[in-house]
Structure 1
Amino acid sequence: MFSLLRRLRRDERGQALVIGTVAMLVLAVTVMASVSIGHGVYEKIKLQDAADAQAYSLAVKEARAYNFLAYTNRAMIVHYSAMLTFMSYVSHALYLDMTIGKIAKYAKYIPVVSAIFTAVEQVIKAWKKAVEWVARLLIPILSALNVGLWLAQEAMMLGTMKDLLLNSSEGVIRGTDPKARPGSVMSAGPGLGAIMGKYNVNFSNLKNFLHVIDDGPASKDKTFDLTDPTGLGKRSKLLSKDDNKLSKPDMAKYRLLMGNLVNGARREWTAVGKEIPLIGRKWSLNLCVLLVELRVAKVADSQVKSFDEGFEDNRRDQLFASDDIKIQWRSPCPYLFGGREDGWNNILSINFRVAADNQGGFHQTYGRRKTDDHHNWWGLTPFLTSDTSFVDPWHNHFSYPCNLTILSKNMIPKSAGDEVQPFHLEGMRQKGFMAGSSSGKHDDKKEKVTGGFLDITWRLAGGVQDKKAQKFREETGGMMAMAVGRAIYHRPGDWKEEPNFFNPLWTARLAPAKTHWEESALGDLIDGWHTAESEFADALNY
Structure 2
Amino acid sequence: MFGMVRRMRRDERGQALVLGAVCMLVVAVAVMSSVSIGHGVYEKMKLQDAADAQAYTLAVKEARAYNFLAYTNRAMIVHYNAMLTVMSYVSHAVYLDRTIGAAAKFLKVLPGIGPVFAAVSAMIKAWVKTVEKIVPTLVNVLTQLNIALWIAQEGMLSATLYDLYSDAKRDKSIHVTDPRAEVEFSMARNASFRDVPLPALYADLGTINHSNAKNFTHVLDDGPRSSSPTMGPDPTGMQTRGRLLNRNRNRLSDADMAKYRLLMGSMANAVRRDWTATGEGPVLIGREWSLRLCLVVGELRVQKTADSQIKSFSEQFEGNRNDQLFAADDIKMEVRPGCGLGFLDWSTVFELHFRVAADARNGFHQEYGNQKVSAHHPWQGITPFVTSDTSFVDPWHNHFGYPCNMVVLSKDMGAERGDGGDGSQKEVFQLDNLSRNHFLRKQGTGRFNSGTAESKGTTNLEAGIQESVLDMTWKYVGGKQDVFAQDFRQYSGGMMAMSVGRAIYHRPGEWKEEPNFFNPVWTARLAPVQTHWDEENLGWLIPSYRDAKWLFNGVTY
Q: Normalized against structure 2, the TM-score is what?
A: 0.88
Say which SS state the counterpart of residue 47 (structure 1) adopts: helix
- 2:118 — aligned with what? 118
Report whether the alignment pairs 1:216 with 2:218: no
- Correspondence for 1:363: 365
* 2:39 counterpart residue number: 39
Separation (CA, whole Å) in 2 of partners of 1:5 and 1:456: 46
Partner SS for 2:507 = coil
The match for 2:243 is 237
Structure 1 residues 55 and 434, CA gap change in structure 2 (3 angstroms):
farther
Tell me what 1:136 maps to.
Answer: 136
Q: Which of the residues 257, 265, 287 maps onto 2:293? A: 287
Relative to structure 1, the CA distance from residue 174 to residue 385 in structure 2 (aligned partners, 3 Å threshold; closer, same or farther) is: same
Deviation at 1:46, TM superposition (A): 1.2
Structure-to-structure mapping, 1:270-349, within 5 angstroms: 270-334=276-340, 337=341, 339=342, 343-349=345-351
- Deviation of the 1:275 alpha carbon: 3.9
Question: Which secondary structure does the structure 2 equivalent of 1:31 belong to?
Answer: helix
Instruction: Please give the per-residue CA displacement for 1:72-96, whole angstroms capped at 9, x wherever unaligned.
Output: 0000000011011111110010010
Query: In structure 2, what is the equivalent of residue 437 of structure 1?
Result: 448
Q: Give secondary structure in 1 for the equivalent of 2:495.
A: strand
- The alpha-carbon deviation at position 456 of structure 1 amounts to 2.4
Deviation at 1:188, TM superposition (A): 7.1
Partner of 2:253: 247
Residues 132-211 of structure 1 correspond to what in structure 2 (within 5 A)?
A: 132-170=132-170, 171-187=172-188, 202-211=209-218
Shift of 1:527: 2.9
Q: For residue 481 of structure 2, what is the aligned residue in structure 1?
A: 465
Is 1:397 the counterpart of 2:408? The answer is no
- 1:525 aligns to 2:541 (yes or no): yes
Q: Matched residues in 2 for 1:128 and 1:157: separation?
A: 44
1:419 is displaced (CA, Å) by 6.7
The alignment partner of 2:252 has SS state of: coil
Aligned to 1:483: 499
Superposed counterparts of 1:1-80, under 5 Å = 11-80=11-80
Residues 313 and 478 (structure 1 numbering): CA distance in 2 closer, same or farther, change over 3 Å? same
Q: Does the C-alpha gap of structure 1 residues 85 and 441 become closer, same or farther in structure 2, counting only changes over 3 Å?
A: farther
Please name the residue that 1:420 is paired with. Answer: 429
**After the TM superposition, which of the residue ranges 524-533 and 482-491 deviates more from structure 2?**
524-533
Partner letter of residue 108 of structure 2? K
CA-CA distance at 1:289 after TM superposition? 1.4
Change (3 A) 1:256 1:494: closer
Shift of 1:534: 6.8
- In structure 2, what is the Cα distance between the partners aligned to 1:210 and 1:30? 53
CA offsets, 1:319-367, max 9 Å, x none?
0011111111112322xx4x55x61111111111100011111101123
The runs of 5 or more residues in structure 1 that have no matched partner are none
Q: Report the Cα distance in structure 1 between the residues aligned to 2:328 and 2:120, rounded to whole angstroms.
A: 22
| 1:100 match | 100
Pair 409,108 (structure 1): closer, same or farther in 2 beyond 3 Å: same
Percent of aligned positions with the same letter in both sequences? 57
Q: Pick from 371, 374, 388: which aligns with 1:372? A: 374
Letter in 1 for 2:181: A
Bigger mean CA deviation after superposition, 376-385 or 417-426 = 417-426
Q: Does the residue aligned with 2:231 lie in a helix, a strand or coil? A: coil
**2: distance between equivalents of 1:348 and 1:393?**
58
> Is 1:257 paired with 2:263?
yes
Question: What is the CA deviation profile of residues 146-167 of structure 1, one whole-angstrom value per residue up to 9, with x for unaligned ones?
Answer: 0000000001100111111352
Measure, in 2, the Cα distance between the counterparts of 1:521 and 1:150.
35
1:417-461 per-residue CA deviation (whole Å, 9 max, x = no partner) reads: 7472246765799759899714699968799x9979986211111
In 2, the alpha carbon distance for the partners of 1:19 and 1:429 equals: 21
How many residues align? The count is: 534
Structure 2 distance, partners of 1:485, 1:67, is 17
Q: Distance in 2 between matches of 1:368 and 1:538?
A: 63
Q: What does the per-residue CA deviation read over 1:120-157, in whole Å, with 9 as the maximum and x for residues that have no partner?
A: 10111111111111111101100011000000000110
Paired letter, 1:79: H
Return the offset for 1:18.
2.2
Relative to 1, partners in 2 of residues 1:28 and 1:497: Cα closer, same or farther, differing over 3 Å?
farther
Whether contact under 8 Å (1:63, 1:506) holds in the other structure is yes
Cα distance in 1 for partners of 2:53, 2:383 equals 37
Moved more, 417-426 or 530-539: 530-539
- Taking the aligned partners of 2:296 and 2:528, their CA distance within structure 1 comes to 79
Structure 2 counterpart of 1:215, which letter? Answer: D
- Give me the whole-angstrom Cα distance separating, in 2, the residues matched to 1:182 and 1:540: 27
How far 1:473 moved relative to its partner?
A: 0.6
Corresponding position: 1:456 with 2:462: no
Distance in 1 between residues matched to 2:153 and 2:206, nearest whole Å:
29
Cα distance in 1 for partners of 2:446, 2:300 equals 111
My pick for the range that moved more, 400-409 or 41-50, is 41-50
Report deviation, 1:2: 7.0
Secondary structure at 2:79 match in 1:
helix
What is the SS of the residue equivalent to 1:184?
Answer: coil
**Alpha-carbon distance in 2 for matches of 1:250, 1:539:** 36
Amino acid aligned to 1:54 = Q
C-alpha distance in 1, partners of 2:512/2:23?
Answer: 60
Q: Which residue identity lines up with residue 411 of structure 1 in the other structure?
A: M
Partner amino acid for 1:322?
Answer: A
Kindly indicate whether the alpha-carbon contact (under 8 Å) linking 1:167 and 1:199 is maintained by their aligned counterparts in 2: no
Residue 42 of structure 1 aligns to a residue whose secondary structure is helix
